[in-house]
């Protein structure tokens, strides 16, 4: 094989001597492609450098050098010229063709004018008219060219916006490694931001497009027809407004322009209809989802949603019945239609009260302003359905959001808390305008009071609810200077039970008879409504002798707790203060004994300092029969079935467990205790047959009292009807307390004192404390007799009655009393 390497090397040497600028003469560098066969059937394809590497098999292949700046510029210019020159040429050609077409039309018009001048006789003034006609033809041509250029030029600029960066790089002879954002994308992004930020941008853009179409269409009509400018603009508007009005146009140019204007008009009106439809849809959707602002004042605002909302709305509706109904606004993180549907399922009469639902978060200030939080007379923060700590944490955040409202609020805030330990933190954040109702604490204290005094729960339900008598505080200047013993009998339709002292603002329950009302003092009464009572003349009261009996001594009691609550330590403290020494408290739950003591100690209870009660621990499951049978259920004075702390997130599961425990306890008691015919007869009268399993369980209630904590009010009604539990406490009582404090925040101090283990409390006293058997006296007489025991009688229950009477109507009526009757009093706890 001949060796051609010297010739090849000389060729390359000559090529390297060429000047660098000579490369710019080539549009694209051409590299020869050679093919070489080595005789073994293997062929090599490539450029001359590869061919030389094959010929010189002993030499290693040389790396291809990087491109020079001249080569990069050549490559960029080639790319630009090949891809865009054709577009630019077509666009310019189109514009030039339209320009030539206009010029030809103008020349034809001039030619016609010259021919007419040559063939016709000369008329005076015709030269001037012909000159004006030629000038008008020239002006129409100029207008036509201007329209074409102004229409095509923006399109051309938009087409070649992305090429400006390439041209800039060519001029600078640099190749940037980091590519800039194309100008088209920047413009599109700016338009997107403009349409998103400004709500009326779409309408303004549509208006601008309409004006541009009318102006350009009118000028185009003026250029291709014989009408004036004003007439052409009017025709352009009619073509835009009515797409069928261009049918009578004559001439090809006029028809083309008319069709184009009509098509643009149809597009604009379709866009306008779409915008109007979207605006209406958004408005209806905003109303449906509850996004509109509430323009109310002096309303009650409820923040949050829970199972207590139904009974809360019912109590608020009853409270506002006397004024013809009020307005209640509910703000919750739920859909407005779902909230309205759930409220409609409650199926109770709102008595003129309007309930307005809004969807939003109480943690967002904009949503709070949407429901007129500044104008509300009372704000109720409901606890969530989460566990106690999460619910209280959310309530704390809501209070922080309320403090962030710049306008402030004129009413007070009632916050539902779940854990008593979290109450001081909310008070610290909200200040004096925050009133708290601790749901667990209220239910726990009521359960203890009802266990020690059977029948007291029904009294509390009558006082807390607005359906019967409730607490009211009002100022009566005509009673200033009266002693409290005279004020006590001054109201025919109410019962005074306390005084709010104007000097320090404290509410004194059950004051002494010698207290004299001063100016500014307010009287706390129990009445049916705030407008149903007023002071009258003092009635005649007979002062006579009555039996003076001492309060019976306290005896040790044996109480059983089934379940574990998070505030069970507070319940133990209350029992320690109320029970007699030697009492026993049995705690039956699934918590191990060592862990119980640790939890009680961590909660602040010192077990070693318990004097009156002794803790007896039993571990087991309250829904397993054999575990319950290991307990002496027939020996307990009271049995309290508590809602399990581990199931507080699920009301249904907690109530199911409590109900199963209740049934098992009653069944075990019915088999261990002797059967009572008297009780059976009473049950037959109530409508249950002899063989009914409920009757067999009810006969055990003569020995021990069973108090059940049922969270759902619907389950509570079922258990109450069956009468297998002496009383059922539910969240409905918490809703009543929330509604009462929302109507008047001062009542919260009264309730806290009555719930506490110290101070004044509600009690049920036997009739023998105040009357003789079969004595006939009026209610005023009994009230005066009770004052000698430093007590305020607020009601009574006659023998054989199922319900107690709070705040009797005719207090001057003589009634014959028996020793089987009982009276409801407010007395100081011993």
**DSSP characters over 413-462:** EEEEES-GGGHHHHHHHHGGGEEEEEHHHHHHHHHHHHHHSTTHHHHHHH
- The pLDDT value given to residue 459: 87
> How many Cβ atoms from other residues are within 10 Å of residue 600's Cβ?
17
pLDDT for residue 436 is more than 90: yes
How much is the pLDDT for 475? 93
At 706-724, the pLDDT tens digits run 888 887 766 666 666 555 5
Nearest alpha carbon to residue 228 among 139, 153, 98, 328: 139
CB 459 within 8 A of CB 762: yes
pLDDT score, position 531: 86
What share of the chain in percent tops pLDDT 70?
71
For the ranges 24-28, 341-345, 629-633, which has the lowest average pLDDT?
A: 24-28
Query: Cβ(823)–Cβ(549) under 8 Å?
Result: no
Residue 301, classed as helix, strand or coil, is strand
* Phi, psi at 43, each rounded to 5°: -115, 155
Pick from 534, 301, 453: which is nearest to 829 by CA?
453
* Location of structure tokens 């004044």: 760
User: Does 255 score more than 50 pLDDT?
Assistant: yes
pLDDT digits (tens, 9 = 90+) for 462-477: 888 888 889 999 999 9
Distance CA 570, CA 424 (A): 16
Mean pLDDT rounded to a whole number for the chain: 77
Strand-pair partners of 300? 328, 378
Which region among 16-30, 74-88, 315-329, 505-519 has the lowest average model confidence (pLDDT)? 16-30
* Closest residue by Cα to residue 699 from 730, 729, 720, 673: 673
| pLDDT value of residue 143 | 66
Name the token pair of 268.
Answer: 């604009």
Is 487's pLDDT higher than 60?
A: yes
Per the DSSP assignment, residues forming a β-bridge with 611 are none
Tell me which of 108-117, 191-200, 585-594, 627-636 is least confident: 108-117
**For the segment 535-552, what is each residue's pLDDT rounded down to a tens digit?**
988 888 776 676 777 777
- Name the nearest CA neighbour of 566 among 422, 354, 453: 422
pLDDT for the residue 559: 94
Range 625-630, long-range pairs (CB < 8 A, 24+ positions) = 625/664, 625/668, 628/661, 628/664, 628/665, 628/668, 629/668
Mean pLDDT value across residues 678-704? 40
Residue 412 has pLDDT above 70, yes or no: yes
Closest CA to 417 of 444, 402, 438, 441: 438
Alpha carbon distances (Å) from 546 to 664, 672, 781, 789, 825: 47, 43, 11, 12, 17
Task: Find the mean pLDDT for residues 662-668.
Answer: 87
Residue 380 has pLDDT above 50, yes or no: yes
| Whether the predicted pLDDT of 4 surpasses 70 | no
Q: What would the two tokens of residue 357 be?
A: 């639902």
Joined together, the tokens standing for residue 734 give 């918490």
Q: What is the pLDDT of residues 97-117, one digit of tens each?
A: 666 666 666 676 667 667 766
What stretch of H or E contains 638?
A: strand 638-641
Contacts of 691-695 spanning 24+ positions with Cβ under 8 A: 694/722, 694/723, 694/724
Which pLDDT value is given to residue 807? 92
Dihedral sign, Cα of residue 287, residue 291, residue 295, residue 296:
positive
Least-confidence region, from 69-78, 517-526, 568-577? 69-78
Q: What's the confidence (pLDDT) of residue 759?
A: 86
Q: Please give the pLDDT value at position 63.
A: 44
Residue for token pair 């059940």: 708
* DSSP state at residue 179: P
Residue 96: the pLDDT is 63
What's the token pair of residue 575? 């029992």
């Amino acid at each position: 094989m001949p060796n051609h390497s010297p010739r090849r090397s000389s060729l390359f040497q000559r090529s390297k001597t060429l000047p660098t600028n000579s490369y710019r003469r080539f549009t694209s560098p051409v590299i020869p492609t050679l093919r070489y066969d080595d005789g073994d059937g293997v062929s090599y394809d490539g450029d001359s450098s590869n061919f030389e590497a094959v010929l010189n098999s002993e030499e290693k292949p040389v790396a291809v050098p990087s491109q020079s700046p001249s080569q990069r510029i050549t490559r960029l210019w080639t790319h630009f010229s090949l891809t865009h020159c054709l577009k630019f040429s077509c666009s310019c050609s189109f514009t030039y063709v339209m320009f030539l077409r206009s010029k030809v039309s103008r020349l034809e018009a001039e030619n016609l004018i010259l021919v007419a001048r040559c063939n016709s006789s000369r008329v005076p003034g015709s030269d001037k008219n012909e000159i004006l006609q030629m000038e008008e033809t020239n002006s129409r041509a100029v207008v036509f060219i201007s329209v074409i250029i102004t229409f095509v030029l923006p399109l051309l600029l938009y087409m070649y916006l992305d090429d400006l960066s390439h041209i800039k790089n060519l001029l600078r002879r640099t190749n940037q490694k980091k590519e800039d954002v194309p100008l088209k994308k920047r413009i599109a992004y700016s338009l997107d931001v403009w349409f998103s930020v400004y709500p009326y941008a779409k309408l303004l853009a549509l208006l601008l497009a309409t004006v541009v179409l009318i102006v350009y269409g009118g000028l185009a009509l003026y250029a291709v027809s014989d009408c004036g400018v004003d007439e052409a603009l009017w025709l352009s508007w009619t073509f835009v407004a009515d797409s069928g009005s261009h049918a009578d146009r004559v001439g090809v140019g006029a028809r083309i322009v008319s069709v184009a204007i009509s098509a643009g008009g149809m597009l604009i009106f379709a866009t306008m209809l779409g915008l109007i439809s979207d605006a209406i849809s958004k408005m209806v959707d905003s109303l449906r989802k509850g996004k509109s602002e509430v323009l109310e004042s002096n309303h009650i605002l409820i923040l949050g949603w829970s199972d207590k909302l139904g009974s809360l709305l019912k109590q608020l509706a009853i409270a506002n019945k006397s004024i013809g109904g009020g307005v209640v606004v509910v703000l919750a993180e739920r859909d407005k239609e779902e909230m309205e549907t759930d409220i409609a399922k409650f199926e109770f009469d709102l008595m003129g009260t309007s309930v307005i639902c809004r969807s939003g978060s109480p943690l967002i200030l904009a949503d709070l302003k949407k429901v007129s939080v500044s104008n509300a007379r009372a704000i109720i923060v409901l606890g969530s359905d989460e566990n106690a700590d999460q619910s209280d944490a959310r309530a704390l955040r809501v209070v922080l959001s309320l403090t962030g409202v710049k306008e402030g609020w004129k009413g007070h805030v009632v916050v539902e808390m779940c854990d008593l330990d979290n109450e001081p933190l909310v008070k610290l954040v909200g200040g004096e305008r925050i009133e708290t109702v601790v749901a667990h604490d209220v239910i726990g204290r009521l359960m203890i009071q009802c266990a020690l005094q059977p029948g007291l729960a029904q009294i509390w339900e009558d006082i807390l609810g607005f359906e019967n008598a409730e607490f009211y505080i009002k100022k009566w200047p005509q009673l200033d200077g009266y002693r409290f013993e005279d004020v006590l009998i001054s109201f025919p339709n109410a019962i005074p039970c306390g005084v709010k002292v104007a000097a320090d603002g404290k509410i004194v329950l059950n004051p002494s008879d010698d207290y004299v009302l001063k100016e500014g003092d307010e009287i706390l009464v129990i009445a049916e409504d705030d407008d149903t009572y007023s002071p009258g003349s003092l009635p005649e009261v007979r002062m006579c002798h009555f039996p003076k009996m001492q309060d019976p001594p306290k005896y040790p009691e044996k109480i059983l707790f089934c379940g574990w609550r998070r505030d069970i330590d507070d319940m133990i403290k209350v029992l320690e203060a109320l029970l007699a020494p030697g009492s026993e408290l049995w705690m039956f739950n699934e918590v191990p004994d060592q862990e119980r003591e640790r939890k009680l100690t961590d909660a602040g209870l010192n077990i070693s300092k318990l004097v009156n009660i002794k803790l007896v621990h039993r571990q087991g499951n309250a829904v397993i029969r054999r575990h319950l049978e290991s307990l002496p259920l027939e020996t307990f004075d009271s049995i309290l079935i508590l809602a399990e702390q581990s199931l507080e997130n699920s009301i249904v599961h907690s109530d199911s467990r409590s109900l199963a425990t209740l049934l098992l306890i009653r069944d075990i008691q019915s088999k261990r205790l002797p059967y009572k015919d008297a009780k059976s007869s009473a049950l037959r009268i109530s409508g249950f047959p002899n063989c009914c399993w409920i009757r067999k369980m009810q006969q055990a209630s003569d020995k021990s009292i069973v108090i059940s904590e049922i969270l759902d009010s619907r389950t509570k009604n079922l258990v109450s009807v069956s009468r297998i539990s002496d009383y059922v406490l539910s969240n409905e009582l918490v809703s009543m307390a929330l509604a009462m404090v929302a109507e008047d925040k001062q009542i919260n101090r009264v309730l806290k004192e009555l719930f506490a283990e110290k101070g004044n409390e509600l009690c049920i006293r036997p009739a023998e404390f105040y009357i003789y058997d079969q004595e006939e006296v009026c209610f005023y007489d009994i009230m005066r007799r009770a004052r000698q025991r430093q007590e305020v009688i607020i009601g009574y229950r006659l023998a054989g009655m199922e319900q107690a009477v709070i705040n009797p109507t005719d207090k001057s009526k003589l009634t014959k009393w028996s020793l089987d009757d009982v009276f409801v009093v407010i007395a100081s706890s011993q």
